[in-house]
A and B are shown apart, each in its own frame.
Chain A
């Protein structure tokens, strides 16, 4: 029979979010804390991110992904959090039973609290319906990053990168340094999708062309990619104007990330249509009592520091054990906002609101509106879809009356990079 285990907290996923959540649960007094990770090592995607740039906000120094992960792995070693690696969770029930398998067998954890820290996955060729042939040589950027940085292989000799997300930009530089010719980074939007610093450090410094308002219209090649047809697109993404052939043997896709919310769906946790992840409050508690979610399964963060920061809030909430009260405010994304989280506010005393702008704006103003009245705002000279706006909830004085809060981003529209 499958082995049954009573647990106070089960954290699913041993990346930055799960490690921080398990650690904070332990530090706030939880015992019988289990951290389940499907890979042989903790750290998640950080392990393949061998470039620096992590930890600037949290530690004030520039770490590589593995170095950043190591800090939390070491911290966990000082606790008695039970880490089960090579362990895959298959199912989570609404009654908080967690079914996992590893080489020892099937495990059923009966948990008081379940934390989903299962991250996100990359959008694929099928999801963007990229037409053409189906040869070898098409990789998501993260998959290629693993193959290069962990396995030590190269995806090809000559690459085109579709999408200017951060992993794509990082891989443009990485492949160039490995001797692969990166012909271009092609972005369907009129603006960069990733962080500006990645554009400067990964493309400009290596003179890799960035083709904005362009996309790959067709993949060519029978057995292996032989080239891609690239063309200009209008605002709706429809091809306009001339096309050209870029010969290459490799196409990397960096066309967005989506929360891996499949496990949550099975346990009937309500999901937010704009983020793709669960609705959460400022402590990252889901709408169903006893469930939390943190990190990129909630919505895709652009800095790991924010992932850690958000996940570290979970422990206190579990420790205080104050019960599951209905939220006082429901935040909904409106004009200028692509997505936001948390979408619920219970106390409103601390924590952060993360807002993803829909488009590039100059002289931007983020407004919180209740009953038609702006009760809090934040202004900044520039915002871009590639960089989240982060609002300190401790600064907000919330209205007396509970209810819906509309979150609006307004400003002068601009599509330039800088």
Chain B
């Protein structure tokens, strides 16, 4: 019987960051994810902004984790093979009152050295498309943007590369403590054993805690809706453009992405559970909010809309605390914005908490850095030629919008953790993520996944059980039967 040192429940950005962090030490680590893949919940749908120190919230655990995380960024990018978009951010004030907020926030000791309050003229020199009615702006050069999928999946791959076992489709439903270790029971009947359990179940964290016998304050859910604009809009704005934030949220913003798309949103609305539907009203609200910042935003270039859910505790702060009943169970709940930014800080903090309860953190000397897969669309002609000579599958484009090749599909299918669904492929290599939204690659991919990934066409899923893509003819009644 294998006993893991740590079992992490939840394959979102926080769970994966903890797994990757702990993988730097000589430990047996298990990550259990209830969905079919990592990055399927809260972490898959957000703006992907790595907030700089200018935007931290003093006096909170959120703020503390945020600051801790900052010093990890460059090391993490290097070890994970990630290239964030180092675009900076402009907070835009449209009135004297709003400008006062900018002044207050710059007085904080933790703001970046180069951050500055700008006149309208200076703002428009950086971002000519900003609403000319601008009153003042606050420029922060340290803000970055990553793809939230790319970060979460890189963390998972970096963890797996260093021995973390990632098991998907494993929903934890119960826990038994035998004194020396925990027995973790999953809904499919499987069980695992571990010395520590870290609950990073995101939207399900409180429910999981309840199942394990702990009562945490209940989560409320806030939904944010977004537009994604065509990559052809790349360069429309250079920085992240924020409005002056409100008590509740950072507001509806415009963000360039590392892939070249433009992200507009999110609005902020209470919702029931993990309801990630978009609504006509919500999208209109985003449209109006964005037009206030950049009136000419090319809304005719929308390629898709989505919404993300943020699970929040009543205090609107993170909760990271050991279970009162089981000293080796650590709960993380209410990890809303800036959870993505703070993930490295959270991981380090969790490591410290576990160490204090006896987890030996001995850094290993054979930790491996993740070498990212090449994206064909980012290669020079010479590199493309070389890649095709090494493997002709690089010369077969399967997604014309994002220029994804057969070689990349095959690698995603064989990665660890592997893509098993259409959404899993989308998050790894951007098929289905371009302007045709899968109208073209959706024709040819099923056959490729069958021959290269052993996923039969009629068993192909978009996002897990129930989300079948197509049916076999014999699964549908015939014309004669219907008549």
Identify the A interface with B (CB < 8 A): 1-2, 38, 86, 88, 90, 99, 101-106, 108, 121-122, 124-127, 129, 131-136, 139-140, 142-143, 146-147, 150-157, 176-181, 217-219, 222-224, 239, 262, 265
Tell me the bound Cα distance from A102 to B385 in angstroms: 10
* Docked-complex contact B479 and A127, CB < 8 angstroms: no
A114 CB to closest chain B CB (Å) equals: 18
| Residues of chain A contacted by B101 (CB below 8 angstroms) | none
Which residues from chain B contact A153 at a C-beta distance below 8 Å?
A: 446, 457-458, 470-473
Q: How far is the CA of A102 from the CA of B472 in the complex (A)?
A: 32
Measured CB to CB, the nearest residue on chain A to B439 is A140
8 A Cβ contacts from B410-448 to A: 422, 435-440, 442-443, 446-447
B68 to chain A, nearest CB (A): 34
Evaluate whether A136 and B478 lie within 8 angstroms (CB atoms) in the complex, with A1-B382, A143-B442 already known: no
- Give complex CA distance A129, B303 in Å: 9
- Alpha-carbon separation in the docked complex, A2 to B379 (Å): 13
Residue positions of B touching A, CB distance < 8 A: 228, 232, 276-280, 282-283, 302-306, 381-382, 384-385, 388-389, 392-397, 400, 403, 422, 435-440, 442-443, 446-447, 457-458, 461-473, 475-479, 481-482
Given contacts A103-B395, A177-B479, A178-B479, contact A147 B467 (CB under 8 A): no
The verdict on A104 contacting B395 (CB below 8 Å), with A132-B277, A154-B476, A179-B479 known, is yes
Q: Is the CB of A86 within 8 A of B439?
A: no
A179 to B482, CA, bound (A): 6
**Would you mind naming 28 contact pairs between A and B with Cβ atoms under 8 Å apart?**
A2-B382, A38-B397, A90-B397, A101-B384, A103-B396, A104-B388, A124-B304, A124-B435, A126-B304, A126-B437, A129-B280, A131-B279, A131-B305, A134-B306, A135-B462, A136-B469, A147-B443, A147-B470, A151-B446, A153-B457, A154-B475, A155-B471, A178-B476, A178-B478, A179-B479, A218-B277, A218-B279, A223-B467
**Distance (whole angstroms) from the CB of A262 to the closest CB of chain B:** 7
Asked if B396 contacts A139 (CB within 8 A), the reply is no
Contact among A134, A139, A180 with B476 in the assembled complex (CB-CB below 8 Å) = A180
Bound together, the chains give a CA A19 to CA B159 distance in angstroms of 51
Q: Are B280 and A101 in contact (CB under 8 A)?
A: no
- Report yes or no: A126 in contact with B395, Cβ–Cβ below 8 A: no
B481 near A101 (CB under 8 angstroms)? no
- Of B278, B446, B476, which contacts A132 at CB under 8 A? B278
Give Cα distance in the complex from A222 to B35, angstroms: 14
For residue A157, give the distance in angstroms from its CB to the closest CB of chain B: 5
CB pair B439 A143 closer than 8 Å: yes
Label chain B's interface by main secondary structure: mixed
Minimum C-beta distance from A12 to chain B (A): 12
Using A105-B388, A131-B278, A180-B476 as known contacts, say yes or no to A265 and B302 having CB atoms under 8 A apart.
no
Given the known inter-chain contacts A101-B384, A132-B277, A136-B463, please indicate yes or no for A121 contacting B392, CB distance below 8 A: no
Q: Which of A135, A152, A176, A224 has the most CB of B within 10 A?
A: A224
Name which residue of chain B comes closest to A147, CB basis: B470
A151 to chain B, nearest CB (A): 7
Partner of A265, one of B232, B435, B443: B232
Are A224 and B468 closer than 8 Å at their CB atoms? yes
How far apart are the CA atoms of A115 and B83 in the complex, in Å?
Answer: 38
Most chain B CB within a 10 A radius of its CB, from A1, A2, A101: A101
B407 CB to closest chain A CB (Å) equals 10
Residues of A within 8 A of B278 (CB): 131-132
Does A88 contact B397, Cβ atoms closer than 8 Å?
yes
- The interface residues of chain A lying within 8 Å CB-to-CB of B458 are 153
Q: Are A223 and B463 in touch, CB under 8 angstroms?
A: yes
| Inter-subunit contact A131/B277 (CB<8 Å) | yes
Give the chain B neighbours of A2 by CB distance below 8 A: 381-382, 384-385
Q: Given contacts A86-B396, A156-B471, A178-B473, is CB(A129)–CB(B384) below 8 Å?
A: no
Q: Are A147 and B479 neighbours in the complex by a CB distance under 8 Å?
A: no
For A124, the closest partner residue in chain B by CB is B437
Please tell me which one of the listed residues A101, A129, A177 contacts residue B397 in the complex, with CB atoms under 8 A apart: A101
Which residues of the other chain, B, contact A103 by a CB distance below 8 angstroms? Answer: 388, 392-393, 395-396
Inter-chain contacts of A224 with B (CB < 8 A): 466-468
Q: Is A136 a contact of B389 with CB atoms below 8 Å? A: no
Chain A residues, CB < 8 A from B464: 223
Q: Is the CB of B468 within 8 A of A136?
A: yes
Least CB distance from A15 to B in Å reads: 13
A104 to B392, CA, bound (A): 7
Which residue of B has the minimal Cβ distance to A157? B476
User: Do the beta carbons of A101 and B478 come within 8 Å of each other?
Assistant: no
Asked whether, in the complex, the Cβ of B437 is within 8 Å of the Cβ of A136, the reply is no
Closest to A142 in B: B439
A222 to B275, CA, bound (A): 9
CB nearest to B470 among chain A residues? A153
Are A154 and B473 in contact, CB atoms less than 8 angstroms apart?
yes
Q: Known contacts A132-B277, A224-B468; can you find 14 more A-B pairs with CB under 8 A?
A: A1-B385, A86-B396, A90-B403, A101-B384, A101-B394, A121-B439, A122-B439, A125-B437, A126-B305, A135-B467, A147-B442, A147-B470, A153-B458, A153-B472
